[in-house]
Amino acid sequence: MSSTRTTVRTHWVALRAMLIFTAVLGIAYTLVVTGIGQLVLPAQADGSRVTSDGEVVGSSLIGQSFADADGTPLPEWFQSRPSAAGGGYDGGASSGSNQGPENADLIAAIEERRAQVAEFNSVSEADVPADAVTASASGLDPHISPEYALLQVARIAGERGLPESAVRELVESRIQARDLGYLGEPTVNVLQLNLALAELG
């Protein structure tokens, strides 16, 4: 009888502890952290969404492709760096290729991309920067280097009938400096750059 009573008491204590911790850590804590996030950093808490004409068109943290349904790059838009995430920029399959620098398939892919980017932008293969031909570790990087953005200026200006100087100025105005002045490299957010480009004409 005493053993049964002890077992029931032990289970009741465990159940109460589970209910209390679920309420405190699973509900209250979540609500408090979400509330603080909404008050202090509302844009980041909502996924850093980017809108155009009142419609969400993406996130400033996740890259996307600017290509047609067949995957052919659209020449009137700035192009992102390659993506190895799923079929490309798949948020549910974030990853790099996991291929080492001496992997024959990776080397072949880089050489093929370099030739394609050079031809697409009418430049020498030697002028194609590394981020134009390699995917990021996440496969979702929304940024490119200023060098890659500037490489695309002449093509885009020609496609849109805009002065090269205007498109170049637009790129230069969108260059984001190193974090805290010394971390990382200067970058350009492709989605935000293309939205600004659409406004330019």
d(CA 67, CA 123): 20
Average pLDDT of adjacent 10-residue blocks, the chain of 201 residues: 78 90 91 86 76 84 91 95 87 82 91 97 96 90 97 97 97 94 93 94 72
**Cβ 50 vs Cβ 58: under 8 Å:** yes
73 three-class SS: strand
Tens-digit pLDDT profile for residues 134-143: 988 888 999 9
Q: Which residue is it, tokens 């030697």?
A: 126
Question: For residue 75, how many other CB atoms are within 10 A of its CB?
Answer: 15
d(CA 46, CA 127): 38
Tens-digit pLDDT profile for residues 109-160: 999 999 999 999 999 999 999 999 998 888 899 999 999 999 999 999 999 9
- Closest by CA position to 44, among listed 31, 33, 29, 60: 60
- Closest by CA position to 64, among listed 196, 192, 201, 172: 192
3-state helix, strand, coil in the chain (%, to 5): 50, 10, 35
Residue 178 neighbours by CB under 8 Å, 6+ apart: 184, 185, 186
Counted residue by residue, the chain has a size of: 201
Query: What is the distance in angstroms between the CA of the first residue and the CA of the last residue of the chain?
Result: 85
- For residue 37, CA distances in Å to 24, 28, 47, 200 come to 18, 14, 11, 34
- Single pTM value for the model: 0.79
